[in-house]
Chain A
Amino acid sequence: MKKTLLAMGLAFGLTTALTMPAFAQAREVTFTTELRNYAGDGAYLALYLADANGRYQGTLWVAGGKSKYYKHLSGWARGSGLNAAEYDGLTGASLASGRTMKITLNLDDALIDSGYEIRIDTAVEDMRDHRADIAVPLTSEGSGQPQAGRGYIQSFQYDL
């Protein structure tokens, strides 16, 4: 799965939170998430940006079509307030066990190496929820380094 997002969409969402100049440079970032082989339905995932204290800053991607299940992605749900404007245009299908999802987004340069981290909450129907299944700092060194999650995520990496 490859989705390219207009710089506008995401940069705009984040500027409000970060009071960043609107003419900031943008960079293409690819997020690769691979799930473990677990016995169960497709997983719901929320990729979001948090500050160093884990406080929600903005939504990157939500995998899973039914908004009624979003409350199970509890860290993200709390931060975003499940406000539809937060994830509008940033959703796709749920991710089946063992599958890999690749998402490419345009991110503001200013977000990198500035103490932000990428978090992913995961949930599967009739199975447990994992808040911050993965939480990795968004840094230049971290690019291309796969990390294992503690829940359904087998490995996650971003490529700047």
Chain B
Amino acid sequence: MLRQLHGLPGLLAALMLAVLAITGAILALAPVMDRAAAVIPADGEVSVAELAGRVVNHYPGTEQIVRGASGEVIVYYYRDGQPGADLVNPMTGDRVAPYEPSPFFIWVKDLHRSFLLDDAGRMLAGTIAAVMVLLCISGILLLVRRSGGWKALLKPFTGSGGKRIHAELARFAVLGLLLSALTGSYMSAQRFGLLPEPVETGPAFPAEVSGGQPVPVATLSALMSVELGDLRELVFPYPDDPQDVYSLTTREGTGFVDQATGELLKYQPRSEGSALKQWVVSLHTGEGLWWLGLILGAAALTVPVLAVTGICIWWQRRRSPGLRPNNADVAQADTIILVGSEGNTTWGFARELHATLNKAGFQVHCSEMNALADQYPQASTLLVLTSTYGDGDAPASAQRFMARLEGFEGEKTLKYAVLGFGDRQFPNFCQFALYVDAALDKKGLARLHPIERINRCNASQFSEWGERLSEHMGVPFMLTYDPLPPATVTLELVERADYGLAVQAPTSILRFKVAGARQGWWSRFLSRKGAFPLFEAGDLLGVMPPNGEAARFYSLASSASDGILEICVRKQTDGLCSGYLYGLKPGDCINGFIRHNPEFRPAVGSHPIILIGAGAGIGPLAGFIRRNTARNPMYLYWGGRNAQSDFLYQPELGSYLNDHRLTGLNTAFSQSDEHAYVQDKLRQDQVAVRRMVDAGAQILVCGGRDMAVGVRQAIEDILKPLSTDVESLRAEGRYLEDVY
């Protein structure tokens, strides 16, 4: 609901919002420019009487003196019957410059408040401002939900692409945008009578004036008592009309001044409503508050980007899931697939499952979770594939599922299995899938297979789940699906360094270049093909094994700027893909593609970085160290088997220590005399580790699952004296794992 409230109005208003925002940002410059052009005397230095006297000396035909919100003083006069307007120096009454409102700014202002369409346009602009208020509020609530709490709003966001940009920009700008939108809506509502408008007619003209001989303006007592800073406007009497008066408007009120006696007549203080209105206008325009104007202008500049990224996100979510035509009817289906998806990624897996089960002879009905029927009369199997939104909320296509489940009448023969999709880096991994699994159990349905959770769309995990499903359903089939059919490049092995043979841990550092890549900087302009896609250490290289199975992923140990693509591969016993890679000789080619993994990166800044890894897990860590040309404190704890055999990257690490890209290196070898693992070294160093964490250090762990569990336990123990733990660090983005 909240999301629709954010998305739909945003979509409709996007273009107009962008116009309002860009013009608003331009207009924000006006107060700064006015301020820069103004000569501003100290407080109390010049009275209105003095100012008027000086001005009249230079401009005998003065009709009106106006002091703008930015302090500029403008004189309107007639000279030889010709009207003129000058910006004057209030200290002397001299002309500073001719005053001509910029036609460009006038046009932009008109565009900003009425789309150049007069009243109808003003109404539209007011409506758009109100929509913006709605967008800001719903956006803040969405951000809170997405990041898992108000406090989390201040921490670094995870995620990538358009969503990340949208969230980061919105976080930066939302308060400014909200202020602009609220004040804009307020002004518009007042103009169109939706809010009471303060009466600003001012006092009635005095019926009686002294009618005596006018005296010089500089001697009028009522004007002597008003300071320049309080002046808004002084209108001179019509020449040679003794019955006329000066009209004076100040910050506090309006009145008239007798041109003979200097007496203040009919003074009327400004109403509270009118003062409030003036404040609202200042907050909106930055008039007299040039610094605020600049802040609001900068915030407004984010709107076009927010609009574009917002539309992209909507489009991604919107793209029709495109069910296969052979979707069985609810009444006939023996197998039901329900999909809970936010960005449509889960639908890809569901389509593969649908197609495979169809081929295996099942009557499959597939729908979004929101479309849960009251009953499935012929069904014996219910498969639920769902992602999670935020901290455990339902994704878009499953928001009504829990409510509908209340009225669901499942046959006792119906067995179910839930497959969750998520990212292990987030707290509450696949939380919604867990809720669904529990809810179906509570409903009295029997489990066909316990819940499984797929980490980051891992294709091989999905295939493995398929194998187990196939056993349960008693029909052989295979699930092969990669959600992101990648554009592959051909990579040629140029160099390899082998380690670990003697300790039964054959591991190689493989260095590739793009096969047939043209040399020279222009090649990237000539063609995208044959050029490296952009990547950084910590990203993943997807490799297709020769038999056409789903891709396997290897952490990259180099960045595109290194000019080489480097991975570190441990040959697994019976490992299909690792065996294939291990068997490569220089000159051999493979097909691969890059998958970005921006979550696994050292933080920017000067806090210490603690890198922990074992075996081939050193790959991305070595890449991080290589890139540490800023020489930030970086410590590596690494575990191998034997220093003589599998000390990966030994020569490189030595040179990194020498040039201080690496601050400290601590190795553990399990098949040496010390029989130590990397977690033992951490415990030995616990005082130093604790001190670094206390100083804001970030920990990055890369390696096998068992090692990661051991390290987590060790760090947990080390942190005990501190008032924090691994889970808190993880939530702050200070404990990252890349585990396989």
Contact = CB atoms under 8 A, between A and B. Distances in A.
Nearest to A38: B103
A74 interface: yes
A77 B241 CA distance: 16
A126 B244 contact: no
A150 B77 CA distance: 11
B63 interface: yes
Interface in B103-148: 103, 106-107, 110, 118
Interface stretch (B200-208, B644-652, B670-678, B680-688): B200-208
A127 B78 CA distance: 15
B201 A129 contact: no
Interface in A70-92: 70-71, 74-75, 77-78, 81-82
Interface string B82-110: 11010000000000000001010011001
Contacts of B235: 74, 129
A98 to B, nearest CB: 14
B81 A78 contact: no
- Chain B CB within 10 Å — which of A53, A82, A128 has the most? A128
A40 B201 contact: no
Contacts of A70: 201
Interface in B228-271: 235, 238, 241, 243-244, 247
Interface string A124-160: 0011111110000000000000000011000000000
A41 interface: yes
Nearest to A152: B83
Contacts of A150: 78, 81-83
B64 interface: yes
Nearest to B191: A66
Given A39-B107, A40-B101, A82-B204, A128 B76 contact: yes
A126 B285 CA distance: 14
B205 A81 contact: yes
A85 to B, nearest CB: 14
A74 B202 CA distance: 12
Contacts of A74: 235, 247
A149 to B, nearest CB: 10
Nearest to A133: B83
B106 A131 contact: no
Interface string B295-327: 000000000000000000000000000000000
A130 B367 CA distance: 71
A13 interface: no
A140 B81 CA distance: 25
Contacts of A78: 205, 244
Contact of A128 (B64, B81, B118, B200): B64
A64 interface: no
A42 B114 CA distance: 13
B197 interface: yes
Given A40-B106, A68-B197, A127 B247 contact: no
Given A54-B241, A74-B247, A78-B244, A39 B103 contact: yes
Given A54-B238, A68-B200, A150-B81, A126 B205 contact: no
Given A39-B101, A128-B85, A71 B201 contact: yes
A73 to B, nearest CB: 12
Contact of A82 (B76, B107, B201): B201
Given A39-B103, A68-B197, A75-B238, 17 more contacts: A42-B118, A54-B238, A54-B241, A67-B201, A68-B199, A70-B201, A71-B202, A82-B201, A126-B106, A127-B101, A128-B63, A128-B83, A129-B76, A130-B83, A131-B63, A150-B82, A151-B83
Interface of A: 39-42, 53-55, 67-68, 70-71, 74-75, 77-78, 81-82, 126-132, 150-151
Interface of B: 63-64, 76, 78, 81-83, 85, 101, 103, 106-107, 110, 118, 197, 199-202, 204-205, 235, 238, 241, 243-244, 247
15 contacts: A39-B106, A42-B118, A53-B241, A54-B238, A68-B199, A71-B200, A74-B235, A78-B244, A81-B205, A128-B76, A129-B64, A130-B83, A131-B238, A150-B81, A150-B82
Ordered nearest first, which 4 A-B pairs have the shortest CB separation? A39-B103, A128-B76, A78-B205, A39-B106
